């Protein structure tokens, strides 16, 4: 009878300590470390359990997380080296391949190789400022540009129908798009206004003021 009671008390104490251990494992490591009522070996076990619960395997990672483990600059360097190699081979067999194609491939390879030198500036804050700024600002710029694209496309077709006589700027969709992007960047503003008002004073003035207002805002 006494042994049964002692075994029950031991089981309840084990159960109580296990429940206390599980309850303690739900708390943060900082709060556990500052708690003087927890013994050191129990604290180590709790920290180890929390660490093991946060460990991730390769299969559990998403594709985007796996891509973050690779250096994208190495891919740029690899593509640049391949362009240099194949461009040189094409240049050596210029009787088979076109000379313009080999020169273009070599130029792309040289461009990528020179760009890949920037990867050595990643650990230098002052020299890597431009790329860090571009990395932070590019997503926001693309969001604004996507929201502004319907206005640009509509303005392209409107300008092509009204100012078709001004063929240098609105002779086709590509020219109209390039003209409006240049106008949005602040280029050829007065020249654009003069050319459109020569075709139609009223529509040219309205189109210039409205589009510039949208581009600036």
Neighbour-count burial of 136, counting CB atoms closer than 10 A to its CB (0-12 exposed, 13-18 middle, 19+ buried): exposed
What is the domain range of residue 96?
74-121
Q: What is the pTM of this model?
A: 0.51
Q: In which band, very low, low, confident or very high, does the pLDDT at 109 lie, cut at 50, 70 and 90?
A: very high
Q: In which band, very low, low, confident or very high, does the pLDDT at 4 lie, cut at 50, 70 and 90?
A: very low
Q: In which band, very low, low, confident or very high, does the pLDDT at 108 lie, cut at 50, 70 and 90?
A: very high
33 versus 149: the higher-pLDDT residue is 149
Closest CA to 33 of 20, 23, 19, 47: 47
How many domains would you assign to the chain? 3
Question: What does the DSSP assignment read for 151-166?
Answer: HHHHHHHHHHHHSTT-
- Asked whether residue 80 falls in the same domain as residue 48, the answer is no
- Determine, yes or no, domain membership for 59: no
Q: What is the pLDDT of residue 74?
A: 85
The whole-number average pLDDT for the span 61-71 is 73
- Asked whether residue 115 falls in the same domain as residue 136, the answer is no
Mean pLDDT is lowest, of 34-48, 121-135, 187-201, for: 34-48
Inter-residue long-range contacts of 66-73, CB under 8 Å, 24+ positions, other chains counted: 71/119, 73/116, 73/118, 73/119
102: helix, coil or strand? helix
- Domain harbouring 138, CATH code: 1.10.287
User: Tell me: the pLDDT tens digits for 29-44?
Assistant: 555 555 555 665 676 6
Query: Cα 122–125–127 angle (5° rounding)?
Result: 75
Q: In which band, very low, low, confident or very high, does the pLDDT at 78 lie, cut at 50, 70 and 90?
A: very high
- Asked whether residue 86 falls in the same domain as residue 160, the answer is no
- Asked whether residue 115 falls in the same domain as residue 140, the answer is no
- Asked whether residue 140 falls in the same domain as residue 206, the answer is yes
Q: What is the pLDDT of residue 86?
A: 93
């Amino acid at each position: 009878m006494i042994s049964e009671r002692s075994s029950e008390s031991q089981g309840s104490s084990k159960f109580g300590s296990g429940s206390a251990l599980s309850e303690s494992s739900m708390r943060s490591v900082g709060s556990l470390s500052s708690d003087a009522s927890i013994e050191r070996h129990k604290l180590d076990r709790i920290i180890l359990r929390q660490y093991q619960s946060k460990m991730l395997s390769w299969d559990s990672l998403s594709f985007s997380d796996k891509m973050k483990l690779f250096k994208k600059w190495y891919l740029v360097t690899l593509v640049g080296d391949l362009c240099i190699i194949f461009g040189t081979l094409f240049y050596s067999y210029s009787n088979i391949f076109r000379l313009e194609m080999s020169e273009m491939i070599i130029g792309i390879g040289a461009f990528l190789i020179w760009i890949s030198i920037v990867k050595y500036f990643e650990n230098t804050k002052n020299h890597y400022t431009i790329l860090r700024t571009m990395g932070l600002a590019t997503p926001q710029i693309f969001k604004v540009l996507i929201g502004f694209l319907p206005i640009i496309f509509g303005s392209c077709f409107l300008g092509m129908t009204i100012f078709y006589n001004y063929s240098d700027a609105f002779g086709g969709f590509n020219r109209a798009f390039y003209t409006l992007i240049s106008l949005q960047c602040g280029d050829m503003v007065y020249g654009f206004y003069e050319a459109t008002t020569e075709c139609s004073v009223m529509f040219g003035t309205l189109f210039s003021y409205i589009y510039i207002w949208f581009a600036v805002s």
